[in-house]
Amino acid sequence: MKTESPKACILYVEDDSALSFVTRDNLEEMGYKVIHFDDGKTALSNFTAQHFDLCLLDVMLPKMDGFELARRIREINASIPILFLSAKTAIEDRIEGLKLGGDDYLTKPFSMDELRLKIDVFIRRNKVIDAAKEDMHQVKTGNYLLDVPNQLLNCNDISIKLTLKETRLIALLFTRQNQLISRQEILMQIWGDDSYFNGRSLDVFISRVRKYLKHDPQLEIESIRSIGFRLTQRSN
């Protein structure tokens, strides 16, 4: 039975009419409000027309593919969860999706139960993060000031807009400076599971954060092979 008040509003972009009908119907039965578009360009033009809690994007879309759509959405909203649904199974495609700001990647054909669980996790996690932002406002390390609520990393006159996962990862490293944090702990706290695919995603994010921290030569993220990471600050 459909609930009167939707649990969340989902932007769903899929050009396969049969698949989109089944997926949308199932998600609405689960209590979600689903706004569907069949091409990336139309979806982007309507993204700011109302509030969305999560994006489900096919990759191979007409007019604008899912990767480009995700990149453009990230320019508008750095924190909304983006989940790719694609027939592309190569690890390179998955990594590319994550680099462009995606949070997860499901290959077709996918299980509706797995999709529901992932959506529930992202929606629930965002609510927890929103509440946590009210308690943690700014974290300072070296020459950097992390503005958690606004997802900004500031260093002197430089301001870097972060994604939600980048903000959470940097906050974890800053608040646990000089401590070894295991890969498993990071994955469970930020990704929700420690699968091989998410492990590859973590490596991509660590590489990106290292580039963000290059403006303070005293800061270094040490990699302890197969164990974890540690943020250190060298003395002058």
Q: What is the pLDDT along the chain (236 residues), one digit of tens a residue?
A: 444 556 789 999 999 999 999 999 999 998 899 999 999 999 999 998 888 989 999 999 999 999 999 999 988 887 788 999 888 777 777 788 877 778 888 888 888 888 988 888 887 776 655 555 555 678 899 999 999 888 899 998 899 999 888 998 999 899 889 999 999 888 887 877 767 777 888 999 999 999 999 999 999 999 998 899 999 988 76
Identify whether residues 109 and 206 lie together within a single domain: no
Rounded CA-CA distance 151/169 in Å is 11
Give the pair of three-digit tokens for residue 223: 């990699």
Domain end (from 131, 166, 188): 131
Q: What are phi and psi of 173, to 5 degrees?
A: -65, -40
Gap between the Cα atoms of 236 and 234, Å rounded? 7
* pLDDT value of position 129: 58
104 with 193, same domain: the answer is no
Whether pTM exceeds 0.85: no
Pair 116, 155 in one domain = no
Give a yes or no: residue 147 inside a domain: yes
Helices (H) and strands (E) in the chain, counts: 8, 12
Q: Which residues 6+ apart lie within 8 Å of 63 measured at CB? A: 39, 40, 41, 42
Domain finish residue from 131, 148, 167: 131
Tell me how far apart the alpha carbons of residues 193 and 182 are, in angstroms, rounded to a whole number: 13
Cα 51 versus chain centre, distance: 17
- Nearest-angstrom CA–CA distance, 227 and 44: 40
pLDDT of residue 3: 42
> Do both 13 and 110 map to the same domain?
yes
Q: Are residues 76 and 145 in the same domain?
A: no
In a domain, 15, yes or no: yes
3 state DSSP class of 227: coil
